[in-house]
Structure 1
Amino acid sequence: MGLSIGIDVGGTKIAAGVVDADGTILARTHRDTPAESVDETAKAICAAAAELIADHEVEAVGIGAAGFVSSDRSTVLFAPNLAWRDEPLGARVAEVLKVPVVVENDANAAAWGEFAFGAAKDVEHMVCVTVGTGIGGGVVIDGQLLRGAHGVAAELGHMRVVPGGHRCGCGARGCWEQYASGRALVREGRAQAESGSLAAAQMLSVCGITDPAELTGPMITAAAAEGDPCAVELLDDLGRWLGEGLASIATLFDPTTIVIGGGVSAAKELLLRSAQVAFEKNLPAKANRPHPGFGLAELGNDAGLIGAADVARRPIPTLESPR
């Protein structure tokens, strides 16, 4: 297998890189994302890829995009942070670059990166959960990425855990990411500070701020690392929600390994400890089934780029024939 390009399209930045068959990034470039314009976003993607193609012989291009991607890995059906609606992105970019182009959901691409080259490279069954502002995820079963009948499977963050709970950006209430994400961590931290809690006031002092509106997830994580009791409690609560959800996911998919990535995973043991306790407590028939291992993602922010590049060099699975 030769070289391919992986492109990770975010709401503000397009990151692109040339990746070899071992998952090593040989060259990089980036562009700003003109998120309000479909045409300008496509042009920026093409420009980033063309810059890399000029210096490397590339077999294919993989694009990781946040949103629903069609089962043929060509059309972005819906993107929450970009102006894509039924956008034939793969064909559009391929026409300009003159190489095969595969489009994949960004969380799926990141999960595949960790499966092929990162924390789950030695297993055939894995779940990857990225805990950032929201929750993304990807599932690999028998060495194959789970995409579902229409390409939109494994939207793990939108598993409902609290009927009638907090309103989610997807329109539903009670989604897992409303309780086990960076957004939830900040919401709870600010709520405690605004309530007049002395412990939360101390946490703000440790963070070097006085206004609860300035509180961020990384601030809470840093304060917890310094031993601040309120910050530690907030991460414990987040870990509990994370572990409870992961117990349900393990029941569904029976993975060998659960990989946790995303910005919130920087808390490491401060988060994983309570997540594992909650997981073990809530896993059904826990005394009579193998338990998956937990691991932290290894590829960091490059997981999506590397995964998209590797997906692009692999044959697209044949769609199911109608019965």
Structure 2
Amino acid sequence: MTTARGSGLTIGVDVGGTSIRAAVVDRGGDVLDTAQAPTPRSAPALEDALDRTLRELMRRNDVDAVGLAVAGFVSQDRNLVRFAPHLPWVEVEVARELGARLGLPVVLEHDANAAAWAERRFGAATGGGNVVTVAIGTGIGAALLVDGELYRGSYGVAPELGHLQVVPFGRPCSCGKRGCWERYCSGTALVETAIEFLAADPSESTVLAAEVARDPGSLTGRRIAGAARDGDVLAVRVMAEFARWLGIGLAMVADVFDPELIVIAGGVASSAGLFLDDAREQYVRSLTGSGHRPLARIRPTQLGEAAAMVGVADLAATRM
């Protein structure tokens, strides 16, 4: 492996279930160049796609290192992907193998940790000490900063907040349990809640209900959020239920970690104006000892969907 060339630039890659998104990032957290590719389904094809995407950026930029942000279990030494539900890697030394192909140092990190680090360095959590980041997308990813440092647990997989059970014997979850928080508070949960509401009252007459009746497959979390912005009654009810579960879950998180700040990140955070105020109110009502203790501030992301790329690029630079 070659030594770093001292450009101060690193590449951060967000390896998602549908796409690979990569960005060249400077030491100030600014994105200078980007590339994107679909995520293949097999491990060899995924590694080849990463190689091509990274080399495309390396041809245009003199970079020192690469960081990969992955939604899955990452070993404590940040070399091994133990398991990733939407990726084909199982017990693969991704960092070492990709580093050997590229001739650059490669750092691996959980995507929620990467996003939390970016918010701490450049965004909503700047200067924060004890901070919880809750990344809400298809499911819930989470990260914990203790005294400004990422807490990964004994084996690198903490904290799996999305799989806290909030409803005993509730909705089935892909993790194998039932009633997990992310089944009631995620992009997927928005769809499930809308379907449940329509099943309970098939006569509900709204634009969204009519669309679902014509094409059930058209229902997505993004579509529900858009309908709620337009005042659709069904969509507004769904977003209110989402906000309720977000507030309940955040109160549980605060009871355990007592953070000074909670950052809401992930794709659903782009619709924070539809639910965050209601979630804050539910959080206050649900928090143990509310009224007799300081409340964590709850803020949306400042870096948006670039957070994981920026964070893992900065972690790669920091580790060097």
Please say which of residues 204-213 and 297-306 is displaced more in the overlay. Answer: 204-213
Aligned-partner Cα distance in 1 for 2:198–2:210: 13
Contact 2:212 2:219 in 1 (8 A): no
Gaps of at least 5 residues in structure 1 are: 317-323
Aligned-partner Cα distance in 1 for 2:269–2:121: 20
Aligned to 1:204: 208
SS of 1:62 mapped into structure 2? strand
Contact 1:190 1:212 in 2 (8 A): no
SS of 2:112 mapped into structure 1? helix
Distance apart, 1:207 and its partner CA: 5.6
SS of 1:58 mapped into structure 2? coil
Contact 1:69 1:103 in 2 (8 A): yes
Contact 1:204 1:210 in 2 (8 A): no
Aligned-partner Cα distance in 2 for 1:68–1:110: 15
Q: What is the one-letter code of the residue matched to 2:162?
A: G
Aligned-partner Cα distance in 2 for 1:40–1:216: 29
Provide, for residues 104-156 of structure 1, a one-character-per-residue CA deviation record: whole Å limited to 9, x for no partner.
11121112112211111132221111111211111111111111110000111
Count residues in correspondence.
Answer: 314
Distance apart, 1:7 and its partner CA: 0.7
Q: What is the one-letter code of the residue matched to 2:133?
A: C
Does residue 133 (structure 1) correspond to residue 138 (structure 2)? The answer is yes
Q: How much is the aligned-residue C-alpha RMSD, in angstroms?
A: 1.8
Distance apart, 1:190 and its partner CA: 1.9
Aligned-partner Cα distance in 1 for 2:126–2:168: 36
SS of 1:46 mapped into structure 2? helix
Aligned-partner Cα distance in 1 for 2:258–2:201: 44
Aligned to 2:318: 314
Distance apart, 1:198 and its partner CA: 3.4
Please say which of residues 212-221 and 130-139 is displaced more in the overlay. Answer: 212-221
- How do 1:82-97 residues align onto structure 2 when only pairs under 5 Å count? 82-97=87-102
Aligned-partner Cα distance in 1 for 2:188–2:73: 21
Aligned-partner Cα distance in 1 for 2:196–2:218: 12
Does residue 285 (structure 1) correspond to residue 282 (structure 2)? The answer is no
Does residue 253 (structure 1) correspond to residue 278 (structure 2)? The answer is no
Aligned-partner Cα distance in 2 for 1:297–1:81: 24
Provide, for residues 237-275 of structure 1, a one-character-per-residue CA deviation record: whole Å limited to 9, x for no partner.
111111111011112222221111222223323211221
Aligned-partner Cα distance in 2 for 1:309–1:61: 6
Aligned-partner Cα distance in 2 for 1:203–1:269: 21
Moved over 3 A (4+): 194-199, 205-213
Instruction: Determine which of 14, 29, 34 is the counterpart of 1:23.
Output: 29
SS of 2:275 mapped into structure 1? helix
Aligned to 1:193: 198
Aligned-partner Cα distance in 2 for 1:198–1:120: 45
Distance apart, 1:209 and its partner CA: 6.5
Please say which of residues 19-28 and 282-291 is displaced more in the overlay. Answer: 282-291
Q: What is the one-letter code of the residue matched to 1:273?
A: D
Aligned to 1:238: 242
Please say which of residues 16-25 and 206-215 is displaced more in the overlay. Answer: 206-215
Aligned-partner Cα distance in 2 for 1:13–1:127: 26
Identity of aligned residues (%): 43
Change (3 A) 1:206 1:142: farther
- How do 1:89-168 residues align onto structure 2 when only pairs under 5 Å count? 89-168=94-173
Contact 1:193 1:212 in 2 (8 A): no
Aligned to 1:4: 10
Gaps of at least 5 residues in structure 2 are: 1-5
Contact 1:203 1:231 in 2 (8 A): no
Aligned to 2:268: 264
